[in-house]
Structure 1
Amino acid sequence: MTITTANAGGADDGTRGPLPRPRPFSDPERWPRMSDWDALAAGAHRARPGEGGTKLPPYVSRDVDAELRDRVREAADLGGFVLVVGDSTAGKTRAAYEAVRDVLPEYRVLAPPAGARLRCAPEAVEACGYGPCVVVWLDDLERHLGPDGLTPDVLDDFARLRVPVVATMRLKPYEAFGSGDDAGTGGDSGEQRWAGVGSRVLRAADVVDLDRLWSAGELSRAGDCDDSRITEALTHHGTYGIAEYMAAGPVLLRTWRHAWRAGGHPRGAALVAAAVDLTRAGLCGPYSRELLVEVHQRRLADAGGPVLRPEGVDEAFAWASRVRHGVTSLLVPVAGELWAPFDYLVDAEDSPVPEWVREAALAHACDDDVRFAVATSAYEAGAFGVAEKAMRPLADAGNRNALFNLAVVMGRTGRTGEAEALYGQAHSRGSLNATVNLGILLAEAGRTEEAEALLRSAHAQGVGHAADNLAVLLRRTGRAEEAATLQAQPPAGTPPG
């Protein structure tokens, strides 16, 4: 079975009307020329200050540079989508920035903030007067997914305008959001799969992988550089990547972990943990001081509470937000007294997210997109109760993707009767994923004729994994030759989800 998330292809029920153009898109004069744009503004991590106070070291060529430039050049010619994927502080943003600046120096850069309604962007680009000479820059792509974010429809509009989209994404969210199969890329028949937010968007990307650890060739090129920061990183990086070391990721991680002790900064560590866990639970930051104070209390109590002799709240925030090594802080301040965790810490933390944190994240979900993100994280972790709670109100309101997701959760928790009813509702609303999963469910219940009709219908409409499940059903009913013929056929085109 497959599960999908909030309306990856656009508005689910056709109820969203035209919206006023948001500020990031309303003033093209503010879109910088690529040759004048700064890598830090693009989202690159700082390094400790160098000679003369420079905040970024010289760029050391990476092995993927030639490939990345070719992809950017092709995207500019045809209107494509290039996505650089790698661990936090692997150097994704800097590599992508250098490639775009080299290939498209005269292009204007549209870099909307997280949460901006990207479905308004193609119209703004078309009206801006710069022709096709605009590149859309989406650092941390996971912050730009959802019904009002980057969708297949928005990508199609950019392609029509021959506007390239260049994005970066950390490996963990990429795997979580793109590991599913919501419309037909095959996979084991009958397997329940979760398609993360925007999985169809990720399948449309021209992906360039960037390793955290540097190759021998990259290390050799770094050795030719006389910048003291790079020389130091080469000497001390050990099991860490050069960019990772220069961004102080390992040092800040140790600082956080060593703070959990009496005489350390246990309350500060708990505040950082609250931000890290909320992010991992799917509640995209930044977070208010009030929310972090609320969530950290139990985190601190679970670690020992008064026994640790925690410092005061103001002192804890001051410690957590202090810039270290001239690079960054554990809690990064954002405009308006909001806070976000240093993303390296989010990637490095691998302990289970407590269910009560997931409940808190859901309680503070401000819109449907966030509810779907919280549900995605909960489902991946096996926290089916939270996933159900996140989806239930949206399913009750008739959202077909919420109906579908809730049906998958029902199936995973043994409530097959509810799963069948929910799949049926999603199927009646045009969800081909629900058509397949309902067919699987009926086949498992021995209702062969109904199951076959559903799977044939989905297969005829281009859902790739429908063929695999139909083949299983055919073999069960003694039609092995027909099953082999079916699976030998080339897959049909991928339809909308």
Structure 2
Amino acid sequence: MFETARAVLPDWWLLHPADASGVRAFAQAPAPRTVAWLDELQRYLDQSGGLPAGLIRDLLAAGTVVLATLWPDEVSVRSAPRDAGTDDRYAEDRELLKLARIIDVPAVFSREERSRAGQLAADGRIRTALEYADSGVTQVLAAGPELIRRWQHAPAKECYGQAVITAALDARRVGAQAPATVDYLTAAAPAYLTPAQQATATPDWFEKAIRYATQTVHGAASCLIPVPAGMGQIAGYLTADYLHESARTLRRTEAVPGLAWQALVTHHHPDDCLRLADNAERRDQIDHAITLYRKQPDAGDGFAAVRLAELLARQGQVQEALTVLRPRADASNRPTAKRRLAKLLAEQGQVQELRQRANAGDLFAVGQLDQLLAEQGQVQELRQRADAGDRFAAERLAGLLAGQGQVQEALTMLRQLVDAGDASAARQLADLLARHGQVQELRQRADAGDGLAAGRLARLLARQGQVDEALTVLRQLVDAGDESAARQLASLLTRQGQVPEAIIMLRQRVDAGDGLAAGQLAALLAGQGQVQEALTVLRQRVDVGDRLAAGLLAALLAGQGQVQELRQRADAGDGLAAERLAGLLAGQGQVQEALTVLRQLLDASGGFATRRLVDLLAKLGRIDDLEGEVRAGTYGAAAQLAQMRGPAGNAEAAKPT
């Protein structure tokens, strides 16, 4: 309504009287072209003397525009006819409301209104209200700040209500999406109370706490929302979305108390088990994570079993980890467990079990066994396995033989694999031929249509100084439609000083939609000092959704120190630009701003921002900040912190050099 008044009457004065006496004083000498704004009209009506209908008629007659807001229930009670035999306490109010043109505002936004609001969603408050509207967008916007105050600044006597709210918020923060049950809240709330508050709690402390937590503010929302389990029955309590979003920021690096974790382990919905386990693991609550993973070891294609085994192995309980994995790996539909079991057996050097599983047809065990045998130099067994048709063993054997100087035998084995259609062996063969200068065979294979051999031949010829022949080979490949050869040709042309031809060819590739060529072209242009043109090439690719180009553009902007465009792209949601911006700011000594950028990116999308943030904190030796990220559940923070502290847990190891 305020925005409407400003649009329709932009040059008028706005009067917002503090109370009813202020309205009466203005009515004695009303100024022209004035809007009188009476927000929450009931406050004026209930004051001594109220607002007589005649007073408002005089204001309207003087040309004053009177705007007011009033809750629907207030309108109903004040405009209802008087009951016979009762005092007519609202008689004056009823007459006043007859003067009004009442505009009903729906409780929720229409589809069109939500769409228009979405166009303003760069404002974080609007975005939160649109995404997490418990009772409607406007209600959340109005009630949200009050919910935060009610939670954070509860009166001393309401400490139990505050504790219950915080326990529910923390549960949701670490993955509990189901309603917080009474059992959980009663078990966890003491963790947020002082010993004195616990000792002096009355028998009905929880009932009082729930009343405080569920009391609505502005008639719109409450900190905790009861979830029904039937008529007159409550299954649990959800936290208001607005409050949850705020608490995620306000308590981001606050540790969830051990008692609350224990309550979650004991009283949680099965659907939340894996989320809670993952959060416990990221927050270095390993014992709780192990307990939670144990509850659902078969969930998620063996994911829980794999995570449980990882944690057990990290704790030195390797045999138990293997015991967890074996039955899941034996199930035919559990590739994740098979892969981790094979890797763990290889790490432990348990060749016998690996061999048994490989012979039983477990391809993950085959790969790990062959790799382990190669690392141990077991030529004889590798040869036996290769002769039995194990192509992985043959490839490992060829690499091992080549490393021992038995190049011809290695080449013979690889040729046999290639002839049998092994694409991986074809790459290995081409590399080995090039490494040993076998130009003739490379040329023969290139002539027979082997693109890998042709590429390696061109590189070998160029290294030997036969540049013209190398260029001829690459041009033939390009004519045949080989995209990688085009990029290789451009690189060779550039090294030979034939930059214009390289640029022309790369532009052709870019026009054909080759994103890799766009990056190469931009690098070449930038290297020639044509930075703006390079940026233009990358911007055009970014505009058509090329993520690779987005990363290259961010890197080039950072290399040129273009903070402004990086910031603009970061603000528009480009995570790659945000990461580069953070690195640039850190390099300029603006560490706090760099950390802020990364934390904002982390809250928005996660992804690589977690690694960048953790790496930057580690580089700066910021132990306290890393500990905060562990409490916040940032991926990789716990592992990085443990690495920095060293085996003895000594923080001295974390000091930057």
TM-score by length of 2: 0.26
Larger of the two Rg values belongs to structure: 2
Structure with more relative contact order (C-alpha pairs < 8 Å, separation 6 or more): 1
Bigger helix share: 2
Bigger strand share: 1
